[in-house]
Amino acid sequence: MAKLKFKIKTKNKFKQKRKRPRLPRLTYLIIFGKLIVRTNHRKGEIVELLTNEIKKQLPALYSTDGKDLTEVKAVVKFFCPWSSWTWYAAEFDGNDTFFGLVDGFEKELGYFSLKELSDLTGPLGLKIERDLHWDSTDLATLMHE
């Protein structure tokens, strides 16, 4: 009778360190065959959500208090590429706080923070974006859309 020779490997598959897949440096959002958003978010990169030109256009916080919503313009629009949340800024304190319309689970007027918007990270490293092709609109129109 012949002897069988074999080796037993004792390497445990589950203890092997798995490499995490690298996220793409460029993220594309394509809807109906059109390129909608092209972002370049690398670790540590600061995304400029608010330029100096836009800061100059935004009125100071509480300056439109008491005015009709048809007179108050939302100057800048931020949106979340992985969900339907949208923020329309009508006032800015010059530092971190906005006042405007928040369209999330429901539409409501309120305050939101630039730091909180810039800190949000979604799937594939997506970040909150500023709509580059959006024109300012009064809050009353946005409330009824």
pTM: 0.68
* pLDDT tens digits along 17-36: 555 555 444 444 444 444 44
Determine the length of the chain.
145
Quickly count: other Cβ atoms within 10 Å of residue 81's Cβ.
17
Report, as ranges of residue numbers, the positions in the chain whose pLDDT lies below 70. 1-47
What's the pLDDT score for residue 13?
53
Cα 140 to Cα 74: distance, rounded to the nearest angstrom:
10
Nearest Cα residue to 126 out of 50, 27, 21: 27
